[in-house]
Amino acid sequence: EEEAKLQNGGFLPCPPSPGGGGGGPAGITLEEPLRNCRLRSEAERRGGTVSNPLPPLGPRDDASNRAHAAPGVRSPRGAAELGALPLGFSDVNLNSRNTYEVSRRRSAPDHLPHGGTVPATPAPPQESAERARRAGITGAGSSFAEFFTRNFFTKKAKELKPAAQSAPGWKLFGKVPPRENLPKDSKIIQQEYEARTGRMYKPPPPPARRKNIEFEPLSTTALILEDRPANLPAKSVEEALRHRQEYDEMVAEAKKREIKEAHKRKKIMRERFKQEENIASAMVIWVNEILPNWEGMRATRRVRELWWQGLPPRVRGKVWSLAVGNELNITPELYEIFLSRAKERWKSFSETSTENDIEDAGASVADREASLELIKLDISRTFPSLYIFQKGGPYHDLLHSVLGAYTCYRPDVGYVQGMSFIAAVLILNLEEADAFIAFANLLNKPCQLAFFRVDHSMMLKYFAAFEVFFEENLPKLFLHFKSYSLTPDIYLIDWIFTLYSKSLPLDLACRVWDVFCRDGEEFLFRTGLGILRLYEDILLQMDFIHIAQFLTKLPEDITSEKLFTCIAAIQMQNSNKKWAQVFASLMKDNKEGDKNHSPALKS
């Protein structure tokens, strides 16, 4: 059965008719049973029965039928017999490869029409007989293969429908039907309103195009007047015109504000450009004339006026070093010695973490304060907005080295919080060794030494001298502070310890340092009075807590021109006595009081 299936295309062969002759094969091809079925159905249709309409196939016929596997080779006998029979049943040719091949063969023409193409080659007799047999079987009606090909394996072509106009919007439970009246343009609404009321609406004239792009408004471009969405009721004419007027007013107000801010920015930029031009021209004078003849020209009026306007950044570090001097005679080699000693101490601090070991080694309180941990803690809080002195920054190790070397150089002073700001400003303007030399000599000045060594008696003398000139220049604010018992130490200590580098912007603090190197400690207290004068009106309206908070953190928008204008208005004279004379008299009174054992002065 399996072999017969393979020979018959996978189907069991039909048995031979009972009246047939011997010698036939066990199974026949599928076309003969189909032919028998067709003839039998034809006979039944005519009213009779057919028994064994065809004789059984012999070996020769079976061989010819097995030759059907080769395309184009058919039995002449089968073709002649089938061609003479009446046809009424459609054939399913299961021996063909597929229905697509059958339909393709049937649809191919035998010969092409006349028109320059190559004519069809005549087929051999056997192939013509096979084509005639197939045509006779499938000629009447449509075959099953054609039926399957046309009905089961074809797709219905989609009809192209014109794109429907989408609804203008959506609502919660369905589409909103399209509105009949489309939204009107603002010009059409305006014309209808004018025709109805008879009044003419004059729109504001369009603003003239400004040539300077700097005055073009920026944020007003986001203010766009839009009509309502299509799924909402349209505005009435009066409402649309009212909204138009409100929109124009909003845009006009915004433009005025932005133009005012643009004028302010332009003024600031103009002043900055002017200042930079002055600094550039002054730098030439400093480099070519003043610095080569420093000792002879430093006290002249021309140099002092240039100094007041601010030093050019290129020569700032050099002028600071010359103005501060080197009374301590520190050399770069001496700095390297103290730096190596500081590194050894840091290493010993990391190995011995207990305070008992440090005390046994004879370390003082100042040495313990100058430990690595304390300096590291303060360095991380030095100019945090610049990110150059924090760990990993380009100046972190440099600042650490300068502060560590100074603690070994002056163990009596040690490290005090606030020194890092002074050292940082010097590092930004000087080389490492020069910054250490200027730092050590600057802290050796009487005022800085008194504050950093926390000499209370000297600090009180400086505060008393400051109050003398405070009362002289700002009497109203002085009485206001007195009413709240607000003493100068609340705000002056932070200013003096950091030389205003923490309280003021860095560029403004450097300009304060310029004049401080020229005038000395007097200018530090004069700058304090200038700040109080600048914010006098604001401070008069504050109480104790708000005054202390305001003076501890000054506004960031303070400008150098305003501040130095207020500083210039401060007169450092009291009863024809200057700062040095007033301070000397206070020191003299203090000594006499100590001799007389005055309880008031002691308190």
Tokens of 179: 């509105």
- For the cut 50, the answer to whether the pLDDT of residue 66 exceeds it is no
Residue 179, helix vs strand vs coil: coil
- For the cut 70, the answer to whether the pLDDT of residue 167 exceeds it is no
Span 515-525, average pLDDT: 94
What local confidence, expressed as pLDDT, does residue 376 receive?
79
Q: Bigger pLDDT: 164 or 320?
A: 320
What local confidence, expressed as pLDDT, does residue 45 receive?
53
- For the cut 70, the answer to whether the pLDDT of residue 180 exceeds it is no
Cα 470 from Cα 533, distance rounded (Å)? 10
Q: Bigger pLDDT: 306 or 363?
A: 306
Task: Specify whether the backbone of 454 is left (phi greater than 0), alpha (psi in -120 to 50) or beta.
Answer: left
Pairing state between β 174-175 and 170-171: antiparallel
Q: To the nearest whole percent, how much of the chain has pLDDT over 90? A: 36
238 in Cβ contact with 196 (< 8 Å): no
Output the DSSP codes for 236-275: PHHHHHHHHHHHHHHHHHHHHHHHHHHHHHHHHHHHHHHH
Cα 25 from Cα 65, distance rounded (Å)? 11
- For the cut 70, the answer to whether the pLDDT of residue 312 exceeds it is yes
What local confidence, expressed as pLDDT, does residue 189 receive?
72
Name all contacts of 474-481 with Cβ < 8 Å and 24+ positions apart: 474/529, 474/532, 474/533, 474/536, 476/536, 476/540, 477/532, 477/536, 477/539, 477/540, 480/539, 480/540, 481/547
Q: Bigger pLDDT: 577 or 535?
A: 535
43-61 per-position pLDDT tens digit: 555 554 444 444 444 444 4
CA distances from 19 to 16, 33, 37, 51, 337 (A): 8, 15, 17, 9, 132
- How many CA atoms does the CB half-sphere of 167 hold within 13 Å? 9
Looking at the DSSP bridge assignments, the partners of residue 578 are 573
For 175, phi and psi rounded to 5 degrees? -80, 150
Span 183-196, average pLDDT: 70
448-481 per-position pLDDT tens digit: 999 999 999 999 999 999 999 999 999 999 999 9
pLDDT category of residue 1 using cuts at 50, 70 and 90:
low
Cα 515 from Cα 491, distance rounded (Å)? 21
Tokens of 241: 């015109």
What local confidence, expressed as pLDDT, does residue 218 receive?
52
pLDDT category of residue 35 using cuts at 50, 70 and 90:
low
pLDDT category of residue 156 using cuts at 50, 70 and 90:
very low
Which pTM does this prediction carry?
0.57
Helix, strand, coil in percent for the chain, rounding step 5? 60, 0, 40
Q: What is the CA radius of gyration of the chain?
A: 55
Cα 112 from Cα 119, distance rounded (Å)? 6
Looking at the DSSP bridge assignments, the partners of residue 175 are 170
Tell me which of 327-331, 365-369, 509-513 is least confident.
365-369
What local confidence, expressed as pLDDT, does residue 153 receive?
47
Span 573-578, average pLDDT: 83
- For the cut 50, the answer to whether the pLDDT of residue 137 exceeds it is no
Tracing tokens 């802290």 back to the chain, one arrives at 443
What local confidence, expressed as pLDDT, does residue 15 receive?
55
- Max intra-chain CA distance, the chain: 164
Tracing tokens 């907005």 back to the chain, one arrives at 385
Span 321-328, average pLDDT: 94
For 185, phi and psi rounded to 5 degrees? -75, 155
pLDDT category of residue 87 using cuts at 50, 70 and 90:
very low
Looking at the DSSP bridge assignments, the partners of residue 573 are 578
Highest mean pLDDT among 47-61, 268-282, 588-602: 268-282
348-400 per-position pLDDT tens digit: 766 665 444 444 444 454 454 445 567 878 888 899 888 899 888 899 999 99
Highest mean pLDDT among 23-27, 95-99, 376-380, 595-599: 376-380
Span 543-563, average pLDDT: 91
Q: Bigger pLDDT: 320 or 376?
A: 320
Q: Which residues contact 81 (CB under 8 A, 6 or more apart)?
A: 54
Tracing tokens 């502060």 back to the chain, one arrives at 403
Rounded to 10 degrees, the C-alpha dihedral 34/37/43/46 comes to -90
Name all contacts of 57-62 with Cβ < 8 Å and 24+ positions apart: 57/16, 57/20, 57/24, 57/25, 57/28, 57/32, 58/21, 58/23, 58/24, 59/23, 59/24, 59/25, 62/24, 62/25, 62/28
Query: What is the residue type of 68?
Result: H
- How many CA atoms does the CB half-sphere of 254 hold within 13 Å? 15
Q: Which residues contact 72 (CB under 8 A, 6 or more apart)?
A: 124, 126, 127, 130
For 469, phi and psi rounded to 5 degrees? -80, -25
For the chain, the average pLDDT equals 73
What local confidence, expressed as pLDDT, does residue 588 receive?
82
> DSSP code of 578?
B
H/E run at residue 170: strand 170-171
- For the cut 60, the answer to whether the pLDDT of residue 301 exceeds it is yes
52 in Cβ contact with 17 (< 8 Å): yes
413 in Cβ contact with 444 (< 8 Å): no
